[in-house]
Structure 1
């Protein structure tokens, strides 16, 4: 018997709007968390989720039912995040003084994410440091680290999502961890 997502995709492909709405309900929160962890921005994460569902809807006829639906939809969302990250302007050194903005350091130039005092209290200092370290990773490591440690995917699942050999995923996880370890050592 096919998984529920595969049956829903088949119904949605035939024009069943309720089936597609169920797919959205099943994945909207998971995709938002993935996108937020990669983009570190609520608005961009919401945009990625919306664009993901648009692409899923337009390309349902391309979905291969032999493949896990979750792998297919995560691949779409992850690729959208990576594309957006690549298009971002270069990251400034947060502590460096900028000659263009006298007296402002890099922290002052970072866009706000509408954080409330309550949400700041919820985040522990350790979580903030780790999130910041993940944010500084190059896109090719960031996507792997988010999928592995924040989405709790196996190396094989990440390999399927990113359409890369498991050995490449292992290397990127290793290098991503090394990159983060160095960043975190400088914080402590």
Structure 2
């Protein structure tokens, strides 16, 4: 996301807050896939993630009047999704099976042949397994940073952590991921 995207979000959110349902539908269309992808990977439950995505946008619609442009709309939305996911996971009493990164993982072009395709598939499987082996807090923070490409500041606001904690968790998560991959 860039400054122009943030400005568009501000404009559409203001219109949605004034009762423009078409503006809110535009915001849903813009952010729904990312919120769903985040929730699927965080919960490991695609069906629950679909419901949580709907709940996220319903809650956001109900609370759009409380959103302030000082906070990025996307960060605010992901915070709602995060809280709903934590509630779901607490009810489930465990972190669920990890869902592969199939739509966010860039695999090298398999055109060189079957050997390259096999190697790329094995690399992707190793990465998925390594991410699944991470503690949930490290997995979540790496998903937000590396897959959703959120800034450190946005992650800090979303997770209600100080910036130093976010930086250290990302560093520890990356180190743990590398250690798992080296095994």
- State the TM bucket, normalised to the shorter chain: 0.7 to 0.9
Give TM-score, length-normalised by structure 2. 0.74
In the TM superposition, residue 24 of structure 1 has moved relative to its aligned partner by 0.6
Map 1:7-156 → 2, pairs under 5 A: 7-90=11-94, 124-156=121-153
After TM superposition, give the deviation of residue 90 of structure 1 in Å: 4.3
TM-score w.r.t. structure 1 length? 0.73
Look up the match of 1:179: 176
CA contact (8 A) 2:42 2:98 kept: no
Larger Rg: 1
How many equivalent pairs are there?
A: 163
Residues 69 and 139 (structure 1), Cα distance of their counterparts in 2 relative to 1, 3 Å cut: same
Question: How much does 1:136 deviate?
Answer: 3.0
> Where in structure 1 are there 5+ consecutive unaligned residues?
93-109, 116-120
Query: Which structure shows the bigger proportion of residues in helix conformation?
Result: 2
Q: Evaluate the alpha carbon distance shift between residue 129 and residue 38 of structure 1 in structure 2; reply closer, same or farther with a 3 A threshold.
A: farther
TM-superposed deviation, 1:89: 4.1
How much is the aligned-residue C-alpha RMSD, in angstroms? Answer: 3.1
- Compute the displacement of 1:128 (Å): 2.4
